[in-house]
């Protein structure tokens, strides 16, 4: 709640976001319906075709997203409320961007090493912890996961060159 | 007297179920499950649904009975855990404990945290107990009844499930429908099992497998929650809790006074849990009712024990009774029940009426574990509150990356696919946006789980009738379920009309607020 009282500029208003999301829903609905028509949304020789059910799913989605869209275009009340404010977005990106980098790293380094780097970086950058607090957490969490998954439950997780070097 | 015979049979099966539990390993899994569950319930970003989803792959090597015992105990633990954060930190760990903060936290502020927690745990236990009793005696009856269901009846029950979300949700009905249909659409992606046709894969090999709801659950609830928590810039500033035997005893002595509230809460909870209203609205409704009928109603919101008893009994009763339709009909009443259902499917157990005939040992072992699991849960939470409270004091900048890592591990282990981790992040962002615009996540998840089943029963029904929708009114049973479902679907419209008429009659007197 530390940031709750502080006022900052809205990045995007609730109304805009509502319209964008409802529009995306309508788009998805159209894709679903188009694909259902492609595979056939009618009655085949042996009963309903593959697109029979999804077509109506798409249709209901289209109608209800258009309703949400219309309500929000009609009404301007959402204009003044912010969907997300600048400092909030900054905070969200503070988690999201490192998480994305972590996931990309996982593809190359394996999950254990990337987790270690991710936790260490996040604690240093967001939490501003001294190195002596960071190290135990960043090492023990992946190590704990390793013991639990690879040794105890025998569930393999993505591993990278370092683990291969160590013989796993 | 067939009914009495049925009850006796249920009791006999239950005793047999307790025999299954006598295995010490199962008891050990039970306590591990409860402890993990409380941990999950306490930590932000890990809730009942995604906690169970993440831990699901760990149970693949166990026997189905042990696995479901552990998983359902994680669920009980998560239900208990939500109360801890509500009372001590004024932060509901789970949506269904929001109503517990209203009176629980003021009690903690006045230095009565111990009493509030004891009252919360005990009433949770009571609510769950009532629901388990209901399951014990009602489940075999419903399962027996459902054995005669055809595809039309199954689709009707599924329709009722989904329409209830529209009728009972507090969100805009259009948004509920949108989220739900998105779930159905995602469920349809991939190979159509009936015609062998590829749907919505757009030439991608990765999409052939379709979308796994476990990944969606981990992303939507786990990552989405982390993003939301981060946005609020949450700093945990909690009250300390001291629970000792004396406080527990003193509180227990005072609790019988609230028996009416507790029973009312349990009934509301059971009802909302079976029809998938869910634990969250049940807890609000029970709190509202208690406030309306209580003698101390002016004290509600300032730390009234009754205000803790009411939502907690309802939430736990709903959480537990959500398993009744899951076991008997294969239709889960909550996202967490849906994840448990997914687990059953992975072990090759098809939930539904046949489960009670073919997998007797499994079903009654599970029901017996509900009794013991809740007792174990009560013991664990009463003795370990200080430990869990101290976990909550770990700053968010340490917890957040650790939870993201755990979610990633959970997403990966479902299919050993790297792309699933990426998908989890995407679902996380979707979950964040949906939460902020109040698109409900529960119908999305349930549609994703039940999509294939609903579609195949609809298709079969259509095949039987050669495409005539009249089959849904072909006998009184299916007709009344479908009609009820349609009433639920149009309930927002109906209730708006009724209110308008009433306010015109009353000359515009105050209308009860919905929330």
Q: Which of residues 58-77 of B touch A (CB under 8 A)?
A: 58, 60-61
**pLDDT of chain B, 515 residues: tens digit per residue:** 344 555 667 777 778 777 777 778 888 888 888 988 888 887 766 777 788 888 887 777 778 788 888 888 888 888 888 788 778 877 666 667 777 888 888 888 887 888 888 888 888 889 889 999 988 888 888 888 888 888 888 888 888 888 888 877 777 889 999 999 999 999 888 888 777 788 887 877 777 878 888 888 888 888 888 888 888 765 555 566 666 777 777 778 877 888 888 888 888 888 877 766 566 777 777 888 888 887 777 778 787 888 888 888 888 888 888 888 888 888 887 778 888 888 887 777 877 888 888 888 788 888 888 888 888 888 888 888 778 777 777 788 888 898 899 889 888 988 888 889 999 999 999 999 998 898 988 888 888 888 888 888 888 888 888 878 888 888 888 888 889 889 888 888 888 888 888 887 765 444 444 43
**C-alpha atoms less than 13 angstroms from C-alpha of B254 in its C-beta half-sphere:** 14
Closest CA to B76 of B323, B345, B445, B324: B323
Q: In angstroms, what separates the C-alpha of B58 from chain A's closest C-alpha?
A: 6
Do residues B90 and B64 lie in contact, with contact meaning Cβ atoms separated by under 8 Å? no
| pLDDT confidence of residue B222 | 84
Q: Give dist(CA B148, CA B479) in Å, integer.
A: 15
Partner-chain residue, chosen from A68, A94, A106, that has the shortest CB–CB distance to B408: A106
B425 touches chain A (CB under 8 A): yes
CB contact under 8 A, A44 and B195: yes
* Residues B65, B69, B74: CA angle, nearest 5 degrees: 150
- Show residues of chain A in contact with B395, CB under 8 Å: 127
Residue of A nearest to B422 (CA): A103
Mutate to test the interface with B, among A38, A61, A62, A82 (most CBs of B within 10 A): A61
| pLDDT confidence of residue B508 | 46
Closest CA to A52 of B237, B467, B479: B467
Helix (H) or strand (E) holding B9: helix B2-21
CB contact under 8 A, A100 and B425: yes
Partner-chain residue, chosen from B409, B455, B458, that has the shortest CB–CB distance to A145: B409
Do residues A36 and A51 lie in contact, with contact meaning Cβ atoms separated by under 8 Å? yes
Q: Give dist(CA B445, CA B211) in Å, integer.
A: 11
A5 contacts: CB under 8 Å, gap ≥ 6: none
- Show residues of chain B in contact with A65, CB under 8 Å: 174, 178
Helix, strand, coil percentages in chain A from 3-state DSSP, rounded to 5: 70, 10, 20
B421 touches chain A (CB under 8 A): yes
Q: Does position A13 have pLDDT exceeding 90, yes or no?
A: no
CB contact under 8 A, A64 and B177: yes
Residue of B nearest to A96 (CA): B227
Residue of A nearest to B180 (CA): A61
| Residues counted in chain B | 515
B109 located within any domain: yes
Kindly list the distances between the CA atom of residue B141 and the CA atoms of A29, A78, B145, in Å, as whole numbers in the listed order.
40, 50, 6
| pLDDT confidence of residue B95 | 67
Do residues B109 and B240 lie in contact, with contact meaning Cβ atoms separated by under 8 Å? no
Q: Give dist(CA B114, CA B108) in Å, integer.
A: 8
Number of other CB atoms surrounding residue B494 within 10 Å: 13
B193 touches chain A (CB under 8 A): no
Q: How many structural domains compose chain B?
A: 1
- Show residues of chain A in contact with B60, CB under 8 Å: 155
B508 located within any domain: no
* Residues A105, A127, B401: CA angle, nearest 5 degrees: 35
Do residues B430 and B441 lie in contact, with contact meaning Cβ atoms separated by under 8 Å? no
C-alpha torsion angle, residues B134, B139, B140, B144 (rounded to 10):
140
Q: In angstroms, what separates the C-alpha of B395 from chain A's closest C-alpha?
A: 8
CB contact under 8 A, A54 and B185: yes
**Local confidence band at A158 (pLDDT 50, 70, 90 cut-offs):** confident
Q: Which of residues 136-175 of B touch A (CB under 8 A)?
A: 172-175
B330 located within any domain: yes
Query: Phi and psi for B341 in degrees, rounded to 5?
Result: -60, -40
- Show residues of chain B in contact with A47, CB under 8 Å: 194, 459, 462-463
DSSP, residue by residue, B344-357: HHHTT---STTHHH
Helix, strand, coil percentages in chain B from 3-state DSSP, rounded to 5: 80, 0, 20
Kindly list the distances between the CA atom of residue B130 and the CA atoms of B136, B251, B320, in Å, as whole numbers in the listed order.
10, 20, 9
B189 touches chain A (CB under 8 A): no
Top pLDDT among A83 and B89 is at: A83
- Show residues of chain A in contact with B182, CB under 8 Å: 25, 28, 61
* Residues B136, B475, B341: CA angle, nearest 5 degrees: 35
- Show residues of chain B in contact with A101, CB under 8 Å: none
Partner-chain residue, chosen from A3, A60, A83, that has the shortest CB–CB distance to B181: A60
Task: Return the axis-axis angle of helices B113-146 and B259-274, rounded to nearest 10°.
Answer: 40
| pLDDT confidence of residue B267 | 86
Q: Residue B169: left if φ>0, alpha if ψ -120 to 50, beta else—which one?
A: beta
Residue of B nearest to A71 (CA): B174
* Residues A68, A74, A77: CA angle, nearest 5 degrees: 90
**Local confidence band at A119 (pLDDT 50, 70, 90 cut-offs):** very high
Mutate to test the interface with A, among B105, B181, B493 (most CBs of A within 10 A): B181
B468 touches chain A (CB under 8 A): no
B21 contacts: CB under 8 Å, gap ≥ 6: B27, B30, B69, B365, B368, B369, B372
Q: In angstroms, what separates the C-alpha of B232 from chain A's closest C-alpha?
A: 6
Q: Give dist(CA B168, CA B321) in Å, integer.
A: 17
C-alpha torsion angle, residues A73, A75, A80, A82 (rounded to 10):
-50
Measured between its terminal Cα atoms, the distance across chain B in Å is: 45
| pLDDT confidence of residue B182 | 94
Number of other CB atoms surrounding residue B502 within 10 Å: 12
Burial of B205 (0-12, 13-18, 19+ CB in 10 A): exposed
Q: Give dist(CA B107, CA B492) in Å, integer.
A: 36
Q: How many CB pairs under 8 A join A and B?
A: 185
CB contact under 8 A, B433 and A17: yes
B404 touches chain A (CB under 8 A): yes
| pLDDT confidence of residue B6 | 56
CB contact under 8 A, B436 and A4: no
Q: Does position A5 have pLDDT exceeding 60, yes or no?
A: no
B275 located within any domain: yes
Closest CA to A120 of A134, A102, A101, A140: A134
CB contact under 8 A, B439 and A21: yes
B401 touches chain A (CB under 8 A): yes
| pLDDT confidence of residue B181 | 94
Q: Is the dihedral of CA B496, B501, B507, B513 positive or negative?
A: negative
**Helix, strand, or coil (residue A10):** strand
Q: In angstroms, what separates the C-alpha of A80 from chain B's closest C-alpha?
A: 15
B161 located within any domain: yes
Q: Give dist(CA B101, CA B99) in Å, integer.
A: 5
**Helix, strand, or coil (residue B213):** helix
Q: Give dist(CA B345, CA B349) in Å, integer.
A: 5
| pLDDT confidence of residue A57 | 92
CB contact under 8 A, B181 and A100: no
ipTM score of the complex? Answer: 0.90
Q: In angstroms, what separates the C-alpha of A166 from chain B's closest C-alpha?
A: 21
Do residues B336 and B319 lie in contact, with contact meaning Cβ atoms separated by under 8 Å? yes
Measured between its terminal Cα atoms, the distance across chain A in Å is: 45
- Show residues of chain B in contact with A102, CB under 8 Å: 401, 404-405, 408
Indicate the average pLDDT of chain A: 85
B194 touches chain A (CB under 8 A): yes
CB contact under 8 A, B437 and A4: no
CB contact under 8 A, B185 and A60: no
C-alpha torsion angle, residues B362, B365, B366, B370 (rounded to 10):
170
Query: Phi and psi for B245 in degrees, rounded to 5?
Result: -55, -35
Residue B7: which domain range?
A: 2-502
Do residues B241 and B88 lie in contact, with contact meaning Cβ atoms separated by under 8 Å? yes
Distance from the Cα of residue B218 to its chain's centroid? 15
Q: Is the dihedral of CA B179, B181, B182, B183 positive or negative?
A: positive
| pLDDT confidence of residue B41 | 80
């Amino acid at each position: 709640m530390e940031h709750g009282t502080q006022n900052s500029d809205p990045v995007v208003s609730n109304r805009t976001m509502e319209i964008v999301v409802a529009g995306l829903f309508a788009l998805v609905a159209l894709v679903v319906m188009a694909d259902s028509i492609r595979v056939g949304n009618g009655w085949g020789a042996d009963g309903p075709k593959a697109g029979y059910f999804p077509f109506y799913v798409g249709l209901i989605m289209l109608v209800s997203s258009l309703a949400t869209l219309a309500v929000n275009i009609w009404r301007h009340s959402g204009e003044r409320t912010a969907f997300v404010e600048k400092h909030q977005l900054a905070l969200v990106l503070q988690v999201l961007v490192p998480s994305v980098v972590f996931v990309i790293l996982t593809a190359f380094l394996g999950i254990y090493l990337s987790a270690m780097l991710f936790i260490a970086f996040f604690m240093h950058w967001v939490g501003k912890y001294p190195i002596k607090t960071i190290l135990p957490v960043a090492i023990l969490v992946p190590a704990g996961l390793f013991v639990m998954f690879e040794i105890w439950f025998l569930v393999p997780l993505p591993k990278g060159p370092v683990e291969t070097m160590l013989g796993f | 007297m067939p009914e009495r015979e049925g009850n006796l049979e249920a009791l006999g099966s239950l005793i047999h179920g307790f025999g299954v539990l006598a295995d010490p390993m199962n008891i050990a899994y039970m306590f591990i499950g409860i402890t993990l569950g409380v941990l999950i319930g306490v930590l932000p970003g890990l809730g009942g649904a995604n906690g169970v989803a993440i831990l699901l792959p760990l149970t693949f090597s166990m026997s189905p009975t042990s696995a479901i015992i552990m998983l359902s105990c994680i669920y009980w633990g998560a239900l208990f855990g939500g109360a801890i954060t509500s009372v001590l930190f004024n932060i509901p760990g789970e949506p269904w404990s929001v109503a517990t903060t209203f009176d629980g936290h003021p009690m903690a502020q006045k230095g009565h945290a111990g009493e509030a927690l004891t009252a919360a745990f005990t009433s949770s236990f009571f609510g769950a107990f009532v629901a388990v009793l209901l399951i014990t005696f009602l489940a075999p009856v419903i399962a027996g009844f459902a054995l005669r269901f055809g595809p039309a009846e199954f689709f009707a029950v599924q329709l009722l499930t989904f329409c209830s979300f529209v009728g009972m949700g507090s969100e805009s009905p259009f948004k509920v429908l949108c989220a739900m249909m998105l779930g159905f659409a995602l469920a349809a992606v991939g190979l159509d099992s009936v015609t062998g046709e590829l749907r919505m894969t757009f030439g991608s090999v990765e999409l052939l497998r379709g979308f796994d709801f476990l990944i969606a659950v981990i992303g939507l609830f786990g990552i989405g929650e982390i993003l939301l928590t981060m946005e609020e810039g949450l700093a945990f500033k909690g009250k300390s809790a001291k629970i000792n035997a004396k406080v527990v005893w003193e509180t227990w002595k005072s609790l019988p006074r609230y028996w009416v509230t507790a029973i009312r809460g349990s009934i509301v909870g059971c009802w909302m849990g079976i029809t998938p209203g869910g634990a969250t609205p049940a807890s609000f409704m029970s709190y509202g009712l208690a406030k309306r009928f209580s003698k101390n109603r002016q004290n509600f919101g300032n730390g009234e024990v009754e205000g803790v008893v009411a939502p907690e009994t309802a939430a736990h009763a709903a959480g537990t009774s959500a398993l009744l339709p899951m076991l008997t009909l294969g239709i889960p009443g909550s996202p967490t029940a849906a994840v448990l259902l997914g687990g059953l499917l992975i072990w090759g157990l098809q939930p539904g009426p046949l489960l009670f005939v073919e997998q007797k040992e499994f079903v009654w072992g599970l029901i017996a574990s509900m009794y013991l699991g809740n007792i174990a849960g009560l013991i664990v939470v009463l003795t370990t509150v200080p430990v869990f409270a101290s976990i909550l004091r770990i700053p968010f900048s340490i917890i957040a990356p650790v939870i993201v890592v755990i979610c990633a591990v959970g997403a990966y282990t479902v299919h050993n696919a790297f792309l699933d981790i990426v998908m989890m992040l995407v679902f996380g962002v979707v979950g964040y946006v949906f939460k902020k615009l109040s698109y409900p996540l529960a119908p999305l998840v349930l549609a994703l789980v039940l999509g294939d089943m609903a579609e195949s029963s609809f298709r079969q029904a259509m095949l039987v009738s050669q495409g005539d929708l009249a089959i849904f009114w072909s006998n009184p049973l299916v007709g009344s379920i479908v009609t009820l479902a349609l009433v639920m679907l149009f309930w927002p419209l109906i209730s708006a009309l009724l209110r308008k008429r009433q306010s015109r009659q009353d000359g515009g007197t105050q209308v009860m607020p919905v929330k």
